[in-house]
Amino acid sequence: MMEKIQNTEFIIILIKSNKLKEVIKKSTELEYRLIDTAFIYENESEIGEILEEIMNSGIVKRKDLLIVSKKEVKNKFNVLDQQEDDVPKLHVDGSP
């Protein structure tokens, strides 16, 4: 569990794909810890690959990141099934 949250917000929606890796890597080096994405941004898989690379390099640990992804809920009874689609895209296990 994170003991302290600082420099927490970082918005990814407006970053062009060719700069995304550079921006996410630099932001995690600067101790940004909230990654906010959504299905509608169409970058969950790319962000997941970048985060996996960053975590494997030791820049940041999974337990220190807060990763938020949002879905358009078409069927309120099917929300958990939709969540299961996001976890593999983001290359995380679903828990901090």
Question: For 49-81, how does the pLDDT look when each residue is reduced to its tens digit (9 = 90+)?
Answer: 999 999 999 989 989 998 888 877 766 666 666
Q: Give the integer Cα–Cα distance in Å for 5 and 81.
A: 29
4: confidence class by pLDDT, cuts 50, 70, 90? very low
Active site residues: 41
Q: Give the integer Cα–Cα distance in Å for 18 and 11.
A: 16
- Write out the two tokens for 70: 């949002």
Q: Give the integer Cα–Cα distance in Å for 55 and 35.
A: 13
Say whether pLDDT at 7 is over 80.
no
Q: Give the integer Cα–Cα distance in Å for 95 and 65.
A: 10
For residues 1-15, give the mean pLDDT: 51
Q: Give the integer Cα–Cα distance in Å for 7 and 11.
A: 12
Question: For 36-45, how does the pLDDT look when each residue is reduced to its tens digit (9 = 90+)?
Answer: 888 777 888 8
Comparison of pLDDT for 1 and 33, the residue scoring more: 33
